[in-house]
Every structure is written in C-alpha cells, then in structure tokens.
Structure 1
Amino acid sequence: MSLRLLVLLLLPSPAFAADALPTPATSLLQMLLGLGATLLVLLGALIMLKRLQGRRPGQGSLMHIRSAISVGTREKVVLLEVGKQVLVLGVTPGRINALHSLDASDLPPATTPGPLPGSEFAGRLRQMLERRHES
C-alpha cells in the first residue's frame, strides 16, 4: 500500500500540472526581470570600476611622468619628475634602469600637446562626407 502512495506522490497530478506550466506573459516578464537585474549589476560594476580608476596612488604628489616614448616593441624611455629633479629611466618588462638625472629647471616647461598627426585628414574626410550627404 505504501508503494502505491509513493508512486502517486511522484507522478504529477493533473490539478498541479496546469499551475506548473508558465504562460507566455509570465515567461516574458521573468526574462525581462532577469535581464534588468543583470544590466543593473553590470552598470553598478562599471560605475565602481570608473571610481576606482579615478583614485590612483600618486596623484597630486610630487612625482609624475613628464614624458614617455617607445624605443622598441616593449622598451620605453620615461622622464619621471620627482620634486625638482627629473630622472631619465629606461623601462623594459623586467627592469627599470636610471639612465640620467637632471634638474627640472634645465628642461622647458611642459606644453599642451598640439593636434595629433593626421587630424587634418580626419577633418577633411568629415567635410567630404558632409558634402556627399548634402547633395
């Protein structure tokens, strides 16, 4: 007798089967809620990442990179300003070497960079595309 009762409990009942099937509206609502929750989590992670990147150690201190140039695929020469002194450093993936040291007053003041090379081309291309769309 208990075996029959166990089998009856394991088999789905027709009364419960109708409730178990989701309607298209509830399936769509469930999918949209899941998508919205996922997007909110991603947006929160993006905001936190931007805030953490904004707070870099060394900002506002006496030490900052004045200039850098690549001299190879993975090698750079960096001008690091520390207080009133500028260090010329050779930077490779495995090492940093001090190449030279000089006073900050010996170098010209830092200037704002001018237009990037090729920006004239971008402006001309934009003008040509605008003319093309007008005619």
Structure 2
Amino acid sequence: MAPTASTGSLLQTIAALVFVLALLMALAWAMKRYGPKAMGNSNKMRVISSLNLGGRERIVLIEVADQWIVVGASPGRINALATVPRQDADLAPLPASQNGPAGANFSEWLKQTIEKRNGK
C-alpha cells in the first residue's frame, strides 16, 4: 500500500507545481498587458543630426536639455566626443537616411572642431 500513497503524493506535488507555474505565467501576461507603461516620447532628449562614417560607424548630435552632445557610435561602443552649448538654430530631427541642411552644418562644425583640436 505504500507505493500507492507515494504515487498520489507525487501527483499532487506535480499538480501543485503546474498550478503555480501557470499562475506565474498568467500574472506576467497581465502585468505586461495592464501594468505600468513605459513613458512614451520624452522631450528632454532628441537626435539633431546623424552622419554615417562607414559601414556601421556614425557620429550623432544629440540634444539633452540645453546642451548638444556629439557621440561616436559603432557596433560595440558609444563614446561622447564633445559637449557644446545648445545652438539657437531651429533644427528638426532628421531621419538617419537624410542628409539635409542640419547634416551639412554639423559636418562643417565637426570639421572645424577637428582642425582646432589638431592645431591647424
């Protein structure tokens, strides 16, 4: 009679484990569906311009509060290259595929900054 009691106990333990796992999955789904949402679009940070340097390397100009930050981005790394006070020019964010006037101004600014750094 001992094997029957042990089998019933094992089945009861497995059923309880399955119930707890199902409950956890249901709670995870409910939190994902109805839980707190991530903040949508933040006006505190935006991409001003982007310049592709090669295959996957880019230089990006980002506005954070009242400063512009020049960032170098490659697949394995992101480096802050320079910080500049916010310019008065009204530059709308550009998609990465476009090189509009903002990209040209940024290119000129970057070229001047590099020349100053190298002492030319």
Higher helix share: 1
- Provide TM-score, normalisation by structure 1: 0.38
Greater RCO, 1 or 2 (C-alpha within 8 Å, sep 6+) = 2
TM-score normalized by the length of structure 2: 0.42
Bigger strand share:
2
